[in-house]
Amino acid sequence: MTKSTVDDIVEAVAKHVVGRERSVRLALAAILAGGHVLLEDVPGLGKTLLARTLATAIGLDFARLQCTPDLQPADVTGSFLFDPVERAFAFRPGPVFTGLLLADEINRTPPKTQSALLEAMQERQVTVEGRTFPLARPFHVLATANPIEYEGTYPLPEAQLDRFLLRLDIGYPPAEEEVEVLRRRLARQSEDHAPRAVIDAATLTALQDDIERIKVDEDVIRYCVDLARATRAHPSVEVGASPRGSQALLLVARALAAIDGRDYVLPEDVKECAVPALAHRLTLRAETWSSGVVATEVVTELLRSVPGPAAGRQR
């Protein structure tokens, strides 16, 4: 994997998405690690634009699923329809059969429909009427969501949240970045964006295979486990991160190392992805939640209190 390839992808996204360098970097790391990403924040902060631009930059065929309250599971996975010519039922694939699925406003659909994505996200396959259909590699879900406090939204089931490798908060842009957004809109003279593809599906698959060769020292592995286990013992947490959480730390940390041009992982890579990899996997106690404490604060506190590896080897 060449650092220049990753830099080209980030540059292509940056031409259409002002700022958001951290979100782009982490979202790209999650995809390189083979995972799915949830972009969550209030409307109007560019979640869909970031997802669509990144999807185009990595050159995948992608489908957009506009989630609505009346969306049915078959609208996601596909269904069998009667073919009058063949006089038989034939399977019509749904939008999930793509390289990258943009599930826009995923928490506007009821839980039954949300759960239709579970098998696809974890097993890379869907089962319809007892028949299993595999999904081609690579397959990723980039989902956007509005906070559950907003009217007309449903909280994502814990099992589905756990399938997202990272959850990223976008946040309001600084004033200068917001000014730059307006400048670019005036210069473009159109609402349309025209991002370009930097790589294709085969190249992305090769990059993902390269990630598997990134070296990870034993002390970094134990650090990932220590952070995940610390969430289970925290007094504010009712249900802590499962072993899938420590695995998420490891996978994304390897991708971040590769993005920075290294073939080994540093503790700083783990720290960089700890909040987006762990916070959405925690269930806080009712008294903690009611007092205003959020999961991101718990993970941030653990990053300060859980001892990291001793000074690593100089490479």
β-sheet bridge partners, residue 65: 103
Q: Is residue 230 part of a domain?
A: yes
Per-residue pLDDT reduced to its tens digit, 29-76: 999 999 999 988 777 777 888 888 888 889 888 888 988 888 988 999
228 and 173 inside one domain: no
174 and 226 inside one domain: no
pLDDT over 90 percentage in the chain: 41
Peptide bond into 138 cis (omega under 30): yes
pLDDT category at 304 given cuts 50, 70, 90 is: very high
pLDDT category at 305 given cuts 50, 70, 90 is: very high
Per-residue pLDDT reduced to its tens digit, 111-149: 788 878 888 898 899 988 888 999 988 999 999 887 766
Rounded-to-10 torsion of CA 106, 107, 111, 115: 30
Is the distance from CB of 50 to CB of 24 less than 8 angstroms? yes
172 and 287 inside one domain: no
**Cα separation of 221 and 192, whole Å?**
44
**Cα separation of 72 and 116, whole Å?**
9
151 and 266 inside one domain: no
**Residue 241 maps to which CATH number?**
1.10.8.80
Residue ending a domain, choose from 158, 177, 201: 201
Q: Is residue 76 part of a domain?
A: no
Q: Is residue 54 part of a domain?
A: yes
286 and 169 inside one domain: no
pLDDT category at 184 given cuts 50, 70, 90 is: confident
299 and 222 inside one domain: yes
262 and 188 inside one domain: no
Per-residue pLDDT reduced to its tens digit, 90-100: 889 999 999 99
20 and 62 inside one domain: yes
188 and 259 inside one domain: no
Is the pLDDT confidence value at 268 over 90? yes
Q: Token pair of 248, please?
A: 């998420």
**Mean pLDDT value of segment 99-110:** 88
Per-residue pLDDT reduced to its tens digit, 196-219: 788 998 999 999 998 999 999 999
Q: Which residue has the higher pLDDT, 251 or 82?
A: 251
Can you give the residue range of the structural domain that contains 143?
A: 3-69+102-107+138-201
User: What is the SS3 assignment for 132?
Assistant: strand
**Mean pLDDT value of segment 271-297:** 88
Q: Is residue 78 part of a domain?
A: no
154 and 283 inside one domain: no
Residues 6+ apart with CB under 8 A from 60: 98, 99, 100, 138, 140, 201, 204
**Cα separation of 165 and 212, whole Å?**
16
pLDDT at position 30, please? 96
β-sheet bridge partners, residue 143: 38, 103
pLDDT at position 194, please? 65
Q: Which of 228, 233, 213, 256 is nearest to 162 (CA)?
A: 228
165 and 256 inside one domain: no
**Residue 182 maps to which CATH number?**
3.40.50.300
β-sheet bridge partners, residue 39: 144, 168
Residue ending a domain, choose from 201, 221, 251: 201
Q: Is residue 196 part of a domain?
A: yes
7 and 143 inside one domain: yes
The number of domains in the chain is 2
Average pLDDT, the chain: 87
